[in-house]
Structure formats: structure tokens, C-alpha cells
Structure 1
């Protein structure tokens, strides 16, 4: 059975003001279906935004963001537990940061945990350890974290579910004539340095971190598929029917 990593960001889990529960439920249904064919590891943002919804503590300092992550992480896992319960799927939490991939022993320990969880049909849900990590050892976004997880935990593919249908030749939020690039074999340094920020105030990535994740994986001989998390049909068709209608395949 092939192994895939699915990454979802705060823009998918929230509308900016509240939890987007219907989208989270749709995600659970989607994952339950694709688990019939794949081993699935879920990388999920959302702890800080859910912590904010609960506490209204501003995220204007590192300490505040760490506090929001601490508040929101158990709430995020409770949400996942609730939406996966109807499918008899039990989520399991792992919190990692960049430092964990600098140590062979730490990487192997995490990999061993993942192997046991997948072998016993649990759903590993991974987030960056924002609550205790310092800026120097954090990825700062889950795009690059998910790329490392894909490589070091032996997954065949990373699927990033975003707020756009893929990688376009120009910003589709600004230009109506933007064209989707369906397949990409390599990225230029200029593309990797693009200054395109995320559109949701709690998001920390943007297109550039997704491109950096894709570049990392392509250099490791692995693939990444970027598509919409708002309409999961393109991801479902790609994974279950090998039908590439929307989205960008890197590699």
C-alpha cells in the first residue's frame, strides 16, 4: 500500500473568524475514502487560529503565538477526534520541529512511532511544535515540515490542500487570465524567491513555501501535488482514479 502525506492549512480549517466545520467534515470524509487505498499521514495547521478563537489573545509576539498554540492544539485534536469518529478512525498526535530532522535518532524515533500507528490503522496527525520551539529551530510553516515528513517517513507523495487549484503562471487572486501549470519538473531560483504572501491572516505559508516544499521533494526524487482543499474532487480524482483534472504535479 502506498503512503501519502496530506497537508492542510489554517485557511482551509477556518474562514478567518470561525472554525469552518463543514470543510473539516468534508476533509474527514475524503481521508476516510482514500485510506482504503493509501496509508495516510495528515499534517495539520490550525492550533494558533483555534487558540485565538477561544481566547482572543493577540498573536503579536512569539510568546503569545506559543500560548495560542498551547491553547489551540488540544482543541484541534478534539475537533479531529469528533469528525473522524463516525468513520471509526482514531487520530494520534505528533508534534515535531526542524530540530527533530537534524538528529538521526530523533528522526528514527518519530518514524518508528509512525510505523506503529499506521500498521494499527491509527491516523497520525502532525503539527509543528510551536508551543515550545524557538524561532531558530522551527520551520515556521507546515508546507516545508510536510515535505520533510514525506521524505524522511518514506511517503510516495505529498498532497497540499490549499486555497487555490494549483500553481499558476501569475497570481490568480489578482489576474483573471492566470493559467494553471499542471506539471512542473523543476523550479527556478526566481520562482523560489517569489514574494507572495498568504491570504488569510493566521496563515504562515503562502505560495513560496509550497514551492520550496516541492523543490525539496523533487531534489529527493519524490513528488508533490498541489490542489484545492475547498473542492476535494480534484484531489480525489487524482488519488483514486489517476485523473489529473486540476492541480499541479511537481516531479
Structure 2
């Protein structure tokens, strides 16, 4: 796609005239090297704020994804829109509130959504593969690896995967809540070089740009950004499930795993091309300096913790600074009915989560051995299977992650 071809006025949002927070150029230079991308597009973009899919916008996004493929990038698309497509077919004017009605709309709309994508990609000869996922596909290590192998095989075959939550069967206990979160799980599963979240705003602002004329677009969020005043709205458009707050949370989580993430305007033509060229488009979240290994990413982001273990300051220091395992002597308290082999949250005495790991003992056993030395475990439990409550090899530190 040439720059001259980006001039369609019908598919371009008004350019931002707000001043920007200074950009650190090396971050954008790294983006230019990205070869494996996950692109998430939401209902607000696909509908342009209407109650039906906007075909011209969908076709334009597909055209840009094809351009990325021709540039040598592997691309995975995480797409909302099934419920939206079903709403249109069923004559609904508001997003369904109940799970059964959402599932019905998704059942009607999922094939329609894929038909739109098939038609949009057909002129370019691009083959598509559809994956519908639930949280259970990520919680189970076995299913997680199966999904990973499937995606890599599709990419190897030149197929562009289109991923959505399986809304037709998902219930509250297994839902992602929004496709922003799903896109992070897909990006970490693949070890992507870049995650791009397309929304209907130019990026993250210091205030709501629709209400505050002094709102500034933030072009870069460092790993430690507690001094930045950022705006994130919890509400979406009414057609989707996530507002800016879910996108910021998703971007921080992906960045914490070592994947740079950009929130950008999906209604502006040429956004993806400009991003890959290293232009100052949207808001980039600086990635952690070190990348997590695949198993660590699974522990950190794909699993659902079954309990919580509070540790003292000395144990936290040993875990974070010295790469040690969690011993019984460092445990202060526990919460939850977890079993041995299940993932638990590790938090400090102030209640702040800083790590996750696989517990070697169940909750009742940890309660009995908390505060004692490892050589006292056998006397307390009658047997000692492990010296550690959580072994270092099954633990991941989350200190680079913080909420909005």
C-alpha cells in the first residue's frame, strides 16, 4: 500500500491536534524489527460506532494485514464482532445483557463474521484459519500447548489465524471478559514481537479527549510509570465489553512479559503500516528488559490462581533479588483452598501481588508448616516431599507489572 493510497476520507478519523508527551525513539526502532505480530481489533472499530459491521473498515484492515504479510511478518488477528454480527442479523439494537442471549447472538454471528473476513481477504488469495478459545484452553497446560502448536503450524503454512472468544459456550467462570485480555494471552502464547490493540481513539491520553480540550496524547509509557497521570475509561462503546482501562491493563501485562504493545486508532487508514515503519503512532508500552520463557508466561498470565500466599519481607527479597525458592519459614499466611500442583499468588505483607508459582503442598499443609524451617517439615506433616513451598523453577516474578 503506497502512502498515496491512504487518502480515503470516508475511512479516516480526524487527526489529533493535541500536544504529545515526548517519545523515546529507540522503542519505535525496536518495533521496526518486529516479525511476529498479534493485532487485536474490537467491535468499536469494526462497527465505526454503528450497530452493524462496517464493511469498508473491515476490508481496509484486512488490506493492511495483507501488507504486513507481504512485508515478511507473521500475523495473527484477534477479532471481536461475532455478537455484533449476530445482533444485526437478529435485529437487536443494543448489546445483549444476558449470557444466553449473547451466546445466541454469537452463534448466529460467528459464521457471518468469518464470511466477511473470507470475502475481504479473497482478492489477495490469503488463506484464513479460525480458532475459538475459552479461558480453559489457556488454564490447562496441555490444551495451552495444543493451541500453541496449532497456531505455529498455521503460520508455517502461510495461513492467517483469526481468533475470537468462544462466546457460544463461554460462561462467566471461563470467559476472558474482553478480547483485549485474550490478545495478551495469544501474544504471550506465541512469544510475539509486538501486540497492537486497535481502538477508536488515537491512544492513551492524560484525560478524556472527548471532554477535556487539554488532554494530551501519551506516546510512550515506560515500564515504571507511576509518575504519569493517565486516563482510562472503564466503559466501552456499548457494543463491546472493554473500555480504555482494559486496554491499558492488557498492554501492561503484555509489556511485563517482554512484548512491546501499542494502542492505536484502528479507524485511521495506514495505522499498521506507520507503526511498522516506526512512526510515532498511538501509545507504546515499553516492554520488560527480559523476556519470560514460555512456561513462565503461562504461569504469569494464562493460568487462574487458586489461592494466595503472603510472605514476609525477607522472603520477598530472597525471591526477587536472589532468585531463591519460597521456603516455609517465609510464609506469613494463606488464603484459598488450593491443592498441591495448583498455581497460587504470592503477595507481600501489604497485600501487593509480586509473583505467581506452583504450590508443592496443599493449603492445609502450608498452613501447618508456615514459619518453620524446612528440616522441620517431616516432623510436622509426617513426611517431607519438598523443601520448598514453591520452587524457583515453577515461579515467575511479576514486579514489572502494575495496574492502571
Fold in common (TM above 0.5): yes
1:31 aligns with: 65
> 2-side partners of 1:102 and 1:19: how far apart?
32
1:103 aligns with: 140
- CA-CA distance at 1:50 after TM superposition: 0.6
Contact 2:206 2:230 survives alignment (8 Å): no
Contact 2:43 2:84 survives alignment (8 Å): yes
Alignment partner for residue 133 of structure 1, among 164, 170, 173?
170
- CA-CA distance at 1:91 after TM superposition: 1.3
The worse-fitting range, judged by mean Cα deviation, of 155-164 and 214-223 is: 214-223
2:75 aligns with: 40
Alignment partner for residue 158 of structure 1, among 173, 195, 199?
195
Higher relative contact order (CA 8 A, sep 6+): 1
> 1-side partners of 2:271 and 2:160: how far apart?
22
Q: Structure 1: where are the runs of 5+ without partners?
A: none
Contact 1:192 1:208 survives alignment (8 Å): no
Q: What CA deviation, in whole Å up to 9, does each residue of 1:210-234 have, x standing for no partner?
A: 0111111122121101101001333
> 2-side partners of 1:105 and 1:192: how far apart?
38
Alignment partner for residue 17 of structure 1, among 47, 51, 59?
51
The worse-fitting range, judged by mean Cα deviation, of 71-80 and 227-236 is: 227-236
Contact 1:192 1:211 survives alignment (8 Å): no
Q: SS in structure 2 opposite 1:131? A: coil
TM-score (norm 2): 0.59
| 2:276 equivalent to 1:243 | no
Contact 1:16 1:201 survives alignment (8 Å): no
> 1-side partners of 2:222 and 2:145: how far apart?
30
| 2:41 equivalent to 1:8 | yes
Alignment partner for residue 229 of structure 1, among 260, 266, 280?
266
Contact 2:204 2:230 survives alignment (8 Å): no
> 1-side partners of 2:230 and 2:274: how far apart?
28
Q: CA RMSD in A?
A: 1.9
> 1-side partners of 2:216 and 2:232: how far apart?
17
Contact 1:140 1:204 survives alignment (8 Å): yes
Runs of 4+ in 1 over 2 A off after TM superposition: 190-196, 232-235
Q: Counting helix residues as a fraction of each chain, which structure ranks higher?
A: 1
TM-score (norm 1): 0.93
Aligned residues: 248
Larger Rg: 2
Contact 2:126 2:159 survives alignment (8 Å): yes
Q: Structure 2: where are the runs of 5+ without partners?
A: 1-33, 287-404
Contact 1:192 1:212 survives alignment (8 Å): no
2:98 aligns with: 61
The worse-fitting range, judged by mean Cα deviation, of 71-80 and 51-60 is: 51-60
1:51 aligns with: 86
> 2-side partners of 1:191 and 1:148: how far apart?
27
Q: SS in structure 1 opposite 2:102? A: helix
- CA-CA distance at 1:20 after TM superposition: 0.7
Q: What CA deviation, in whole Å up to 9, does each residue of 1:25-46 have, x standing for no partner?
A: 1101100101122100000000
